[in-house]
Amino acid sequence: MERRKYLFKGRVQGVGFRFRCFSIANELKLTGFVKNEYDGSVSMEVQGEVMQIERMIEKLYQQPFIEIEQIHYHLLNIKEHEKSFEIRY
Q: What tens-digit pLDDT sequence spans the chain (89 residues)?
A: 999 999 999 999 999 999 999 999 999 999 999 999 999 999 999 999 999 999 999 999 998 899 999 999 999 999 999 999 999 98
Residue of 3, 4, 18, 20 with catalytic role? 18
DSSP secondary structure, 27-60, as one string: HTT-EEEEEE-TTS-EEEEEEE-HHHHHHHHHHH
Active site residue 18: yes
Length in residues, the chain: 89
Q: Enumerate domains of the chain plus CATH numbers.
A: 2-81 (3.30.70.100)
Active site residue 36: yes
Q: What is the pTM of this model?
A: 0.95
Residue of 36, 55, 77, 88 with catalytic role? 36
5 pairs with which residues across the strands?
Answer: 45, 74
